[in-house]
Amino acid sequence: MQPQERFYKIDKDFRNPFARDRDRIIHSGSFRKLEYKTQVFLNHEGDFFRTRLTHSIEVSQIARSITNQLGLNESLAEAIALAHDLGHTPFGHVGGDTLDECLKADGFANGFEHNFQSFRVVTKLEKRYKDFDGLNLTFATLEGILKHSYPYKKPFLPKIIDKQFDLDKHPSFEAMVVDRADEIAYMSHDIDDGVNSGLICFDDLKSSELAQEILDKVAQEGVTDENDEMFRYRFSSHLINHLVYSLLAYSKERVEDKEAMPIGFEKELETKIKKLKKLLFNKMYQHKNIVRRMYAGKQAVRSLYKGLMEDEKMLPRFYYDQLQNRAKHRVISDYIASMSDRYALNFHNEMNGKF
C-alpha cells in the first residue's frame, strides 16, 4: 500500500450545516477575543475567574445536554450558545451600556445592543470570504443569535431584519434552550467566583430558598466546610443539576406538543430563581469592589469613543478603510466593542498619556 492510500478520501463536507456553523464560530477572531472580556471580574484579576469565553463554553455544554434529552438539534444549540456573546463590549454589560449612552448622546437613536451586535459580528464584521461579509451561517443559527433572549422584538432593529426574521414570533426551541442555559450558567459560576473572591459568602445566600435547598443537598453528602473549594464545587454542581433536571421535567411534554413557549421552569421555581438573582445583584454585582472596577471601564469606553470621534486616524486600517462606506460613529463603536478589557485599558491609557 502506498503511503498516500492510508488517508481517508473525503469527497464532501461530512458535517451537518449547524456543525459547520459551530466550527466557523469557534475559528473566528471574535470568539478568541472572548478570552479577555469580562464576565464579572476584569480579566487581569486572576486566572481562576470566568471570562466571556469560559462562560460561552459552559452555556454550550448545558445547552447540549438539555437539547440531547429533549430530542432537539444539539449542534444548532451549540452554535447559538458559542456565538451568543460575540457582540459584548469590554467590561461586560457596563461597557455596552456606556457605549449605548455615548451613541445616543451624539444623536444616534439606535445606540448599541449586544445581541444585535453579535448578529452583526457574524453577518458583517467577520471577514472570511472574498465575495461577501460574515461567516456564512445558516438562517436558524442567525435567528437564534438574534432572538435567543426575550423580548425578541427590539425597537431599533432595521425593518429589513424584522421582516426577514419575524421578531413577533418566538425562535427555535434550541434558541430558547440557550436562553435558559445562559441563565443557569451565569448564576452558578457567578456564585462560585463571588465566594472565591470574598465578595459574598454562603451565609449571604441562605436567605434564598433555592440556595438553601442546594446547601442542604451539599450537607447530605457530608461536605460541611464552606471555606473549602470542594464545597463550592459541590454547590455549583448541585445547582446546575437541579435546574437542568427541573427544566427537563417541565419542558419535555411541551416540546413534544410543540407549545408556543415550552422551555422553562414551574412557576414556583421561576419565582425562586428571580429572588436568587435579585440577591446576587444586591450583594455581589453592586459590591463596591465591582462597582469601582466597572466605573474605570465606563471611563475608558467614554474616553475611547470621544478620542476616536475627534481623530479617526487612530483607527486600525481594517476599520479606517470602512469609513469610506459606513457611518463614522458605527465604525468606531464596532471597533470599541471588539476590544478586550486589557486592550481597551491600554489604549485608553496611551491615548491619555498614561504610560
Assess if residue 3 is contained within a domain.
no
> In 3-state terms, what secondary structure has residue 179?
helix
155: cis peptide before it, omega within 30°? no
Note whether residue 325 is domain-resident.
no
Strand partners, 134: 127
Q: Is residue 316 part of a domain?
A: no
- Domain hosting residue 263, numbered range: 17-290
The pLDDT value recorded for residue 46 is: 42
pLDDT for position 197: 85
Q: Domain of 232: which CATH number?
A: 1.10.3210.10
Please tell me the predicted confidence (pLDDT) of residue 48: 43
Inside any domain, residue 145: yes
Helix axes 139-147, 17-26, angle to 10 degrees: 60
Q: Hey, is 259 helix, strand or coil?
A: coil
- The verdict on residue 164 lying in a domain is yes
pLDDT at 99: 96
Is residue 152 assigned to a domain?
A: yes
Q: Give the span between the Cα atoms of 53 and 243, in whole angstroms.
A: 22
Evaluate whether residue 183 is within a structural domain.
yes
pLDDT of residue 47: 42
The answer to whether 126 and 30 are in contact (CB under 8 A) is: yes
Cβ distance 102 to 96 under 8 Å? no
How many separate domains does the chain show? 1
7 inside domain: no
pLDDT of the chain, 355 residues: tens digit per residue: 454 555 555 567 778 999 999 999 999 999 999 988 876 655 444 444 578 899 999 999 999 999 999 999 999 999 999 999 999 999 988 999 999 999 999 998 889 988 899 999 999 999 988 888 999 999 999 999 988 776 666 766 777 676 788 777 888 999 999 999 999 999 999 999 889 888 899 999 999 999 999 999 999 999 888 888 899 999 999 999 999 999 999 999 888 877 667 899 999 999 999 999 999 999 988 888 888 888 988 999 999 999 999 999 999 999 999 999 999 999 999 999 999 988 999 999 999 887 6
Distance in angstroms (rounded) separating the CA atoms of residues 320 and 145 = 27
Is the overall model pTM greater than 0.75, yes or no?
A: yes
